[in-house]
Structure 1
Amino acid sequence: MDVNAHDGYSLAAIGTDDKVVLFGGYDGSVYLNETWVYDASDDVWTFDTANPNWSPMSPKSPPYRRPCPAMAGVWGEDRVVMFGGDYSRLNDTWVYDVGDDAWTKKAPPECPARMAMPAMATIPFHDKVVLFGNYGSGVDRHDETWVYDIADDRWQHCMLSDHPRNTYYSAMATVLDGPRVVLCAMSPPDPETWVFDYSAFVPNGSMCSPCHEIPGDPAFRSIECDADLPPGTALEFQVRSAPTLWSLVRKEPVGPDGTPNSTYLPGVALTTAGEGDCWIQYKALLRTQNKTQSPRVMAVRIGFNLLPDPPIPLEPSGEGWLDRSPSTYRWAFKDDDSAGQAAFEWQLSSSIFFDPPLFYSGVVESDSSSYEPPRLPGDGTWYWRVRARDTDGDWGPFCKYSIVRIDNSPPEPFTPSIDPPGWTGQPCTLSFIVTDALSGIARTELLLDGRSLGNRTSPFELPEMAEGIHSIAVVAHDRAGNRLERRTQAFIDRGPPEPFIPEATPSGWTSLPPAVSFNATDATSGIDHCSVSVDGGVFTRQASPFTASGLSDGTHGIAVRAFDRAGNFRDGSVTVLIDATPPANLSVGLKGGKKTTSGTNVTLAVHAADPSSGLDAMCFSNDGREYSEWEPFNTTRAWTIPGGEGRKTVFVKARDRAGNEAVASARMEYVRPQEGEFPSAIVAGAAVLIAAIASSAFLLRRRRKDRPGGK
């Protein structure tokens, strides 16, 4: 039967008959490690060359499954040699004996590097195979030629001055007319064909070691080797080092002068290997004058000392802020292959690039893991780092910078405010804007009359407070622990002013604008202002005393509203009496409407009206200048006019209760009585006189009768 369809396998011809051996490959899902033998004469795949069988071979302990190994037969024998493969980039060497159906893993002292898809072919007339490398481990290609001696189990690196370079997908076959092989390979832009003649090979050339990664940051010392150097041979080295494999393969090996034109002798110090480069590769250059005598390298050693690890910053360290400059900087020294720290360098800068550092210790020869700088940095963000030298004399790298944030200044000044400001009976809102230019504000604490309200943000509605003045403290804390306290006050008054009674002057009727006096008090916030309303009108702000001008006659209500400083108010009121109009319709004349009188004693009739305050008093005069005393107003009045015939004038004044006065006068004729007539006043007086005389006579007669003798 046919071999199952798969790819990536390898074929090798068996030198004793018309058979080939197939191994490995990939069937589309898994890698294979099957071994098959093909008999070309029978055109069958067989397990046993004597008994054709389509079952695969069943050798004990076959190689691990893999695709694309290199495989070639041994000249004149029924054995094949296999090397490497793609799976994990293998570099193991195996020999398969077809007759014994057995794979044997070989252990040569040195072997080619791990590589994928190398090409291999038999060297005719020799028990050797030749190998040419392609892809290797990582990103580089191995343009190397190796010869494997089956009898000695030894790989020999053929140092060729001229050989294929940067090839891939190569194939190699034996040329039967001599110890030669032909190589076809892709080398952009065109394929190439090369012939390797083993009979003309003189082992002058070079070999490159695998790329070695050192677990740490090394300081390279020297390159040494264990090698057999027959007479007429020499061994020299070149090296290349880099921090990454990617950068390593892009460099070329160099000697002490940094160029490919110089070489290192074994035991010489490596001066071009970069300190801290963790990838290194050496190139061995072998020289011989006879192809039968070649240097044999058993081991190559590159001496190095691992650099101290970057120190571990201990303090100050972290993202936090400090309220003062640290006086001491501490770190931990770590070096796995040295006795300890011998010296250090410490730097501090405001830039992470330390270009240049603002504070530099210089080289301090000390095993101490702390440093006290002579000057301390001020406020700001700083970066410090340190590196150490071990007791082997090598400096390690600077540690990653550690941040020091210093802020020994309090937050910026601020002024808290209360809304509403001043005295109020309403809920109060506290507002504040706090800033800190360096570390920033961490929290803001509030205190009410010394009692903490906790950490609060702005705006904050204050809890209900009793009447009176309250102290509010706003304490701003920055991230470094600095604090700044600012205070304000809340003025609380929810009650109105004390009761009060305005007073009007004069208190009664008046013809002039009255003065209204008021004296309001408030025990908490005090009186702010007073407003006055007249007869229910709009309140206007007024001071005491308030003159109520422009009022019409009549009764008016004056309301006084006293406001305290919190806006609370209380009203008081007073009534004012206004009469600016004198009595009206005042008249005077003889009673009964007479126009003449025959006597000087007359009765006057007085008439007047006052609709506002009312009539209060009156007085009289015969000349309009000299008046009698004021007396209560009455509608009649006995009055004496001057004697003498002729026209007489009587004046009267009427006064209302507001003090307004009105004047009126009346004319009358005084006429003497005719003979035999008595003036009305005289007749009346005569009657009184007669009565008096009669009374006197009566009293006189009675006294005479009472005398002795009746006389």
Structure 2
Amino acid sequence: MDSGWIPQTSWRPAPLADGTYYWRVMARDEIGNESEWSVTRSFTIDTTPPTSPSPLSPSDGQAVGSQSITLVWSQVVDASQPVAYTASVSSSPNFSPDLRSSGWIYSTSFSLTLPEGTWFWRVMARDAAGNTGQWSTVRSFVVDISPPETPKVFSPTHQENLPASRSLAVFTWSRVGGPSPVTYSFRLEPIENEWRSTPDNSVTYDNLPDGLHIFRLFASDAGGRSDEASYRILVDTTPPGLEIGHPENTPITSPSRRFLLTGKTEPGSIVEADNVSTVADENGSFSLELDLSGGTNTIHLRITDRAGNSSEHVLTVVLPEETPIWPLLLPASAAAAFLILRFLRPARGVPRKPRHRRRRYR
């Protein structure tokens, strides 16, 4: 492309496509003398905007446990160097309003301080030709510097510290933490030594052995770890036993209609027989007074422990048919005999009648 001889010191060529071009100029006077060509110069036509940078760090949705944030993005390669960038940060995904902007900078990172919360960011490039690209994909991150509160643990299957006859236990807990995602770590002692983790707020254990079990739990997020919570349950699936110092399948002979049954079982158990009941003391000892009928008496004994487990026992007690009632009336009979003896004795000071002796005749 040539301008031809023109009297001006500038020339506008026809529109050029993007690319690099070289140009030079020479002069000619009125009598036709021509100068040498000037030094060759180059220029670039660039009407294409740069591509959008790629946000690199923090990653999308990342939780950050610090208020000091550094945004990092990829470098853009463009025909017109150097490339400048601007980053925008907002608490709204619509970026209205922008909380903070880096302005046009030539670095691929931007540092700032933010309060706790969820933040959105994007970045744009501009080349040396002044072409401005599009905003990058919007990314988010969470600033969280506060550890979560201690969760509160519950169980719909077991009251804390009270025995229950269920071997299946469910533990639930309150959700805590934020704004970053929370992970709950838990274990059930003594059957577990290692911690397990879940984002949920419940866990179920089945086929637990009898005994004391302690459920431990803590919450953690980007801001730190909570204190540990615990919940104690007692699993008891074993029916209560009975000790009466006499084989259950061997009849017991009672000397009286009033029969006192004593024995031992699980402490706190309810012992019932013939509409009579009592509670075993903390040592497991109990006693029941039962009225017997003459002959063979069958006593149905039911024992229910604190967990709700029950056992049934059958005892045979024999009261001999000829057993008189007098053992029950013995105190009254003794008193009557005593009174009779008192009435038969003469009072003091009353002369006794002379006794006549029989004479014996030979």
Shared fold, TM over 0.5: yes
Find 1:358's aligned residue among 99, 104, 117.
Answer: 99
Q: Note the aligned Cα RMSD (angstroms).
A: 5.3
Q: CA 1:327/1:460 → structure 2, altered by over 3 Å: closer, same or farther? A: closer
2:201 is the counterpart of 1:462? no
What CA distance in whole angstroms lies between the structure 1 residues aligned with 2:188 and 2:334? Answer: 77
The equivalent of 2:250 in structure 1 is none
The equivalent of 2:270 in structure 1 is 530
Find 2:70's aligned residue among 328, 343, 368.
Answer: 328
CA contact (8 A) 1:509 1:613 kept: no
Aligned partner of 2:98: which letter? P
2:22 is the counterpart of 1:309? no
- 5 Å-filtered alignment, 1:160-309, equals 267=12, 303-304=45-46, 306-309=48-51
What CA distance in whole angstroms lies between the structure 1 residues aligned with 2:170 and 2:181? Answer: 21
For structure 2, the 5+ residue unaligned runs are: 19-42, 246-253, 348-354
More strand by share: 1
What CA distance in whole angstroms lies between the structure 2 residues aligned with 1:350 and 1:619? Answer: 101
Shift in Å, 1:324: 4.7
Structure number with bigger Rg: 1
Shift in Å, 1:467: 3.1
Find 1:415's aligned residue among 148, 153, 156.
Answer: 153
2:229 is the counterpart of 1:491? no
CA displacement, residues 517-542 of structure 1 (integer Å, 9 cap, x when unaligned)? 857454xxxx2342332xx34x6455
CA contact (8 A) 1:472 1:488 kept: yes
What CA distance in whole angstroms lies between the structure 2 residues aligned with 1:561 and 1:491? Answer: 23
Aligned partner of 2:205: which letter? L
For structure 1, the 5+ residue unaligned runs are: 1-224, 232-264, 271-277, 279-300, 578-609, 630-638, 643-680, 695-711
Shift in Å, 1:349: 0.4
The equivalent of 2:307 in structure 1 is 566
CA displacement, residues 339-358 of structure 1 (integer Å, 9 cap, x when unaligned)? 334x5432210222212111
CA contact (8 A) 2:164 2:308 kept: yes
Higher relative contact order (CA closer than 8 Å, sequence separation 6+): 2
Shift in Å, 1:444: 6.4
The equivalent of 1:347 in structure 2 is 88
Q: CA 1:552/1:569 → structure 2, altered by over 3 Å: closer, same or farther? A: closer
CA displacement, residues 587-610 of structure 1 (integer Å, 9 cap, x when unaligned)? xxxxxxxxxxxxxxxxxxxxxxx9
Query: TM-score of the superposition, structure 2-length normalised?
Result: 0.59
CA displacement, residues 594-631 of structure 1 (integer Å, 9 cap, x when unaligned)? xxxxxxxxxxxxxxxx952368656878xxx95317xx
Q: CA 1:571/1:399 → structure 2, altered by over 3 Å: closer, same or farther? A: closer
CA displacement, residues 432-465 of structure 1 (integer Å, 9 cap, x when unaligned)? 2564664556676544434248567776542434
Matched residue SS, 1:628: helix
Q: What is the number of residues matched between the two proteins?
A: 301
Aligned partner of 2:155: which letter? S
Q: CA 1:378/1:520 → structure 2, altered by over 3 Å: closer, same or farther? A: same
Matched residue SS, 1:327: strand
The equivalent of 1:627 in structure 2 is 340
What CA distance in whole angstroms lies between the structure 2 residues aligned with 1:328 and 1:302? Answer: 35
Shift in Å, 1:387: 3.0
Find 2:140's aligned residue among 391, 394, 403.
Answer: 403
Find 1:429's aligned residue among 147, 169, 178.
Answer: 169
Shift in Å, 1:319: 3.8
Find 2:216's aligned residue among 464, 473, 485.
Answer: 473
Matched residue SS, 1:627: helix
2:109 is the counterpart of 1:370? yes
What CA distance in whole angstroms lies between the structure 2 residues aligned with 1:411 and 1:554? Answer: 70
Q: CA 1:229/1:528 → structure 2, altered by over 3 Å: closer, same or farther? A: farther
Q: CA 1:317/1:640 → structure 2, altered by over 3 Å: closer, same or farther? A: closer
Identity of aligned residues (%): 22
Q: CA 1:413/1:440 → structure 2, altered by over 3 Å: closer, same or farther? A: same
Aligned partner of 2:95: which letter? F
The equivalent of 1:383 in structure 2 is 120
CA contact (8 A) 2:54 2:74 kept: yes
Aligned partner of 2:110: which letter? Y
What CA distance in whole angstroms lies between the structure 2 residues aligned with 1:618 and 1:471? Answer: 63
